[in-house]
Amino acid sequence: MSRIVEAIGKLEAILDGNVCFSRREGLQEVLNLLKEEQASSKGSHIEKMIPPSSKRIGVVVHGPEIIDSGGAVQLINHLKQMGRVNAVLGGTMGRVAVIDADLEGIITINTRRRPSISIRDMAEDSDIVIILNQAKCRETGLAFGTMVAKLAGIDKPLIQIDCGGRFVADLTLSHFASDSEDINEEGLAVAARLAADLGLDLLRPRPRDCTLIQGDTVRRIMTGVIPGELISVNGTVIGRAIGAEVEIKAKGGKIIDLKGAEPKMHGLEKLHRVDLEKAIIRSGSIRRSTVRPRIGENRGEGAAFIDHCAEDAFEAAGGAAVALTVGDDTTAIAGDILARLGIAVVGIVDGDIDRLAGSLTILPGSIIIRVRPGYDDIVGGRAREEIFRGEDRISISAPDLADRVKELAGELLLERKEIRSDLA
């Protein structure tokens, strides 16, 4: 019996240190077995060995990095020790990562939802909601967590586990609304347990209002930006950061000011109208990790039209055989997304690609139509009117679509190139 006690003491000392997650789970399992043996020998019950409760845990996974690193699966498995877990994705590029990792059976990606909406949906059938993400630094992770917590507005315990910022945060709304340290005991208790289990810092952040609205004027403030990073709105690059904080200002749906970044006028011109309050704004790459893409098999028909809304590609082109994309960034991002569905693209570009993703894939058989700088939108507009007749879907093959676009481009055409292998 004394040997068991000695072994338990040594294992607990090891687990109190900075043990990597993969080893921690194995050691914890051994520790639990020893404690079970100790309990049975004493004929007593140890509280820590109570089987997983019936607590319903809703998990919202955000961003590709937490999936690409393997952290999402490890954390979901760990959370299963605490109750019944239901995991969904919040965001777009994470869907690509889920497909690449073959995790559709673990993380639901059926519908596109903003993280705050996913949290709200999960709260209806969950006792506690947990956000899993992997931000590039602690500041950006906290800014993201507090923002979505405020937007979600749920009254149930809300916890964020950020493997990039290496923290567990109690984001429960009642905590934000009060200066008391005694409220929200359940949320804080769960956050504290997870922080201890995972060897991460426990935080109780206060939200900063990064979206300011006055009449028809909207200001969005981004923090934790690295100088040199690209700033994008709904997938369109509008500038390059020159400071750690960037502010975007829009009036009447038109961006009128950009602070902390050098503007990219061509990108700003493409955003004819934007709902800045709800827009997806990013700094840096949309997918920082590099993984082997999992290419899908396409049984779709016809062509879909995608114009400067690459992140809608799953919904816009699902079930099609080919998609016509307008703009360099749109073609690159939509091509990367649609490759997972086995959908080729015919992309109208002008050579102004900004490469928002660190590694991009485009399906072989896709065709790139390069036109004179600044004319991709003009040719795209012609294609919308004369080929698609204003519709979102038409019946046409990829080669025929490319030929029609080439004809419309006329003297603006610089190059027609068929992709033989991906661009990654």
Specify whether 191 is located in the same domain as 225.
no
Q: Is residue 3 part of a domain?
A: yes
Residues 61 and 181 in one domain: yes
Answer yes or no: are the C-beta atoms of 323 and 313 closer than 8 Å.
yes
Residues 194 and 228 occupy one common structural domain = no
As a whole number of angstroms, the distance between CA 207 and CA 96 comes to: 30
- Same domain, yes or no, for 68 and 199? yes
> 232-241 burial by CB neighbour count: b if 16+ within 10 A, else e?
bbbbbbbbbb
Give yes or no for a contact between 285 and 307, defined as CB atoms under 8 angstroms apart: no
Which residue, of 174, 203, 232, is where some domain finishes? 203
Other Cβ atoms closer than 10 A to 408: 21
pLDDT means per 10 residues, the chain with 424 residues, are: 57 54 58 60 39 81 94 96 93 86 92 88 95 93 91 93 95 63 72 94 83 93 91 89 95 95 88 87 81 83 88 87 91 90 94 63 91 93 95 94 96 91 54
Give the tokens for residue 67: 């999936």
d(CA 288, CA 296): 22
Question: Are 266 and 337 contained in the same domain?
Answer: no
Question: Is position 43 within any domain?
Answer: no
- Whichever domain contains 130, its CATH number is 3.40.50.11220
| 369/387 Cα distance (integer angstroms) | 15
**pLDDT attached to residue 50:** 35
CA–CA distance, 4 with 31 (Å, rounded to integer): 10
Domain assignment present for 224 = yes
The answer on 251 and 275 residing in a single domain is yes
pLDDT of residue 267: 84
Is 44 inside a domain boundary? no
- Tell the burial category of 204 from Cβ atoms under 10 Å away from its Cβ (0-12, 13-18, 19+): middle
Residue 298 forms part of a structural domain: no
- Residue 21: inside a domain, yes or no? yes
* pTM score: 0.78
Q: Are residues 86 and 167 in the same domain?
A: yes
Interior/surface letters 18-30, b for 16+ CB within 10 angstroms, e for the rest: ebebeebeeebee
Instruction: Tell me whether residue 121 is in a domain.
Output: yes
Residues 6 and 56 in one domain: no
Question: Range of 1's domain?
Answer: 1-35
Query: Does residue 252 form part of some domain?
Result: yes
Buried b or exposed e, range 49-77, using 16+ CB within 10 angstroms: eeeeeeeebbbbbbbbbbbbbebbbbbbe
- Number of structural domains in the chain: 4
Q: Does residue 67 sit in the same domain as residue 87?
A: yes
Q: Which one, of 161, 163, 164, 159, lies nearest residue 137 by Cα?
A: 164
C-alpha 341/C-alpha 99 separation (Å) is 9
Are both 58 and 199 inside the same structural domain?
yes
Q: Are residues 176 and 245 in the same domain?
A: no
Here the tokens at position 335 are: 């091509």
Residues 276, 326: one domain? no
pLDDT value of position 423: 47
Q: How far apart are CA 105 and CA 121, in angstroms?
A: 19
